Amino acid sequence: MESHKRSIAKTVSWRVWATIITAVVTWIMTGKLETALTVGLIDTSVKFFVYFFHERMWNKIDYGRMPPRPAEYEI
């Protein structure tokens, strides 16, 4: 299971890249930098929290996880 700090770090790093991508695509489509920055910030604000809770939900699901190997036992 991941710690909350790790989930937050992953969320922030992903959102930085996703915001840049959204802003650039919006800028290309509209030609307006102010619109691009506004859309990028609103998009990030919403998706930051959605992604964090999505990550936490997946930490509660065992699908696809490998069980931990038992430690070597010596007497």
What percent of the chain clears pLDDT 70, i.e. is strictly above it? 96
More confidently predicted of 70 and 24: 24
- Measured CA to CA, the distance from residue 24 to residue 19 in angstroms comes to 8
- For the segment 50-69, the average pLDDT, to the nearest whole number, is 85
What percent of the chain clears pLDDT 90, i.e. is strictly above it? 33
- Measured CA to CA, the distance from residue 56 to residue 24 in angstroms comes to 29
What one-letter code names the amino acid at 54?
H
pTM of the model: 0.60
